[in-house]
């Protein structure tokens, strides 16, 4: 059976790092098995869904290199949900309920006060036909709940968590349809997974109880619609948390825009999130195929996965240092050739820093004030400068022999005079880029300052 996974965001906001990670795992699971990765836009909430977010989700996935093999939109699939709902109603698996939100909240408080779990008491099932008719006559429109089967435990072998078992009597019959006829998440998702042939549902561990409910929905739908039973495989990954070990609101707003603003490469994001929360080391791996070859659900742990900005920056920096000139030539300031890129690359943490480092070549630079002794030394350097295959090596060798200077005293005044900085690119690579005439001019100006 071809592996088919799905990523199902709601277009009520931008993707954040948590659901980017979910999308990535589903993309990797599909690609590892030669399968298909589908995008399902969960836009049943018409009031909150916005087309600009749909476009942003597509753009972000493309930027990250995870373009889907197909796309579905729940807003275009309402007839399927209506048909499934009617089939379940005919089978006695959904029922109307008339409690208001305030009444349900009062019930929960009473149950908690008695030390009982705050699950729905199925009060609507105890109503008589006359009582329901009276509610309807009052203009009270019902919401609809899916009736869980309490006869058998709900079990599945989770791809991350192992054997799972739920007593359905400890779960509330979930509301699947609001009084205004709009859908909640549960039923449309199950209907879509069946219709789209989803073989693997891979999502966060906050959906574990949803899975228990949806397994019964799958079974009920198969029976009601006379379809062969092919339950998806389920796996639930540990949630993403901040480096302090707590759920972070910041992670909910940290998305592709924030990464692009910081000039974080998409390859760095993929490299980090692909292995975060697994037993495998997080490494600066630019080739997604290497990550795919090592993807294995058995390596995922149960402990929360800690997202750390510093680790992402470390990965990004390492990837920048691996990047070849041809891969970034169109993003570099005018004038930087392969030699220039090779010279400044070790000093970069992001590609956008290239312009600032290239200024050491193009100028202007501002050298510090030098002591009288160092000015005399720099004047001697300007006279000793000779051009050849290795002008920096030749210059420092001549000065070392002629002045007796060595180490910091030999090198630092030269670097400061030529670049205006105490550190930076290798001078052996940088000096030829500055050029003989400009280098001599800078040394003379520093000597005269």
Which residues are annotated binding-site positions for ATP? Answer: 249
Q: Among all chains, which residue has been given the structure tokens 């592709």?
A: 256
Return contacts of 240-249, CB within 8 angstroms, 24+ apart: 240/17, 240/18, 240/21, 240/276, 240/277, 240/304, 240/305, 240/306, 240/307, 241/304, 241/305, 241/306, 241/307, 242/306, 242/307, 243/306, 243/307, 243/308, 243/309, 243/310, 245/304, 245/306, 248/307
Return all residues near 343 (Cβ < 8 A) that are at least 6 apart: 425, 426, 429, 430, 433
Tokens standing for residue 86: 């009617």
CB-neighbour burial class of residue 419 (10 A; exposed 0-12, middle 13-18, buried 19+): buried
Q: Among all chains, which residue has been given the structure tokens 């549902």?
A: 201
Torsional class of 245: left (φ above 0), alpha (ψ -120 to 50), beta (otherwise):
left
**Residue set of the binding site:** 249
Q: Which three-class secondary structure state does DSSP give residue 235?
A: strand
Measured between alpha carbons, how far is 86 from 205 in angstroms, rounded to an integer?
31
Cα-based distances in Å from 370 to 203, 446, 449:
62, 8, 7
């Amino acid at each position: 059976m071809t592996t088919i996974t799905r990523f199902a965001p709601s277009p009520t906001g931008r993707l954040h790092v948590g659901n980017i990670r979910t999308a990535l795992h589903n993309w990797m699971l599909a690609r590892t098995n030669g399968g298909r990765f589908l995008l399902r836009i969960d836009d049943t909430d018409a009031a909150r869904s916005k087309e600009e977010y749909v476009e942003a989700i597509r753009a972000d996935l493309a930027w990250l290199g995870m373009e889907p093999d197909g796309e579905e939109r729940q807003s275009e699939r309402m007839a399927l949900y209506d048909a499934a709902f009617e089939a379940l109603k005919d089978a006695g698996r959904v029922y109307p309920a008339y409690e208001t939100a305030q009444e349900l909240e009062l019930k929960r408080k009473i149950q908690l006060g008695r030390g009982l779990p705050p699950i729905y008491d199925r009060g609507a099932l105890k109503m008589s036909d006359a009582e329901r008719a009276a509610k309807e006559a009052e203009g009270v429109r019902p919401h609809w709940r899916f009736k869980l089967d309490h006869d058998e435990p709900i079990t599945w072998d989770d791809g991350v968590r192992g054997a799972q078992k739920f007593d359905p009597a400890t779960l509330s019959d979930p509301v699947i349809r609001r009084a205004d006829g709009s859908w909640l998440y549960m039923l449309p998702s199950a209907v879509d997974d069946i219709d789209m042939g989803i073989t693997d549902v891979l999502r966060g561990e906050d959906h574990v109880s949803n899975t228990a409910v949806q397994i019964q929905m799958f079974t009920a739908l198969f029976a009601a619609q006379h379809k062969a039973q092919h339950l998806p495989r389920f796996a639930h990954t540990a949630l993403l948390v901040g480096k302090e070990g707590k759920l972070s609101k910041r992670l909910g707003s940290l998305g592709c825009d924030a990464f692009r603003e910081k000039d974080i490469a998409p390859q760095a994001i993929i490299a980090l999130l692909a292995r975060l929360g697994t037993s495998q080391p997080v490494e600066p791996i630019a080739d997604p195929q290497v990550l795919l070859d090592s993807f294995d659900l058995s390596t995922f742990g149960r402990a929360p996965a800690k997202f750390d900005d510093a680790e992402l920056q470390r990965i990004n920096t390492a990837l920048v240092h691996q990047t070849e000139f041809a891969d970034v030539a169109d993003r570099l300031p005018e004038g930087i050739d392969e030699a220039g890129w090779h010279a400044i690359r070790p000093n970069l943490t992001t590609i956008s820093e290239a312009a600032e480092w290239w200024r050491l070549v193009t100028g202007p630079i501002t050298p510090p004030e030098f002591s009288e002794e160092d000015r005399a030394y720099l004047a001697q350097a300007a006279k000793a400068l000779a051009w050849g295959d290795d002008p920096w090596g030749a210059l420092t060798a001549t000065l070392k022999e002629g002045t007796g200077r060595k180490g910091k005293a030999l090198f630092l005044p030269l670097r400061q005079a030529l670049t205006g900085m105490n550190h930076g690119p290798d001078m052996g690579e940088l000096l030829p880029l500055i050029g003989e005439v400009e280098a001599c001019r800078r040394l003379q100006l520093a000597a005269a300052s």
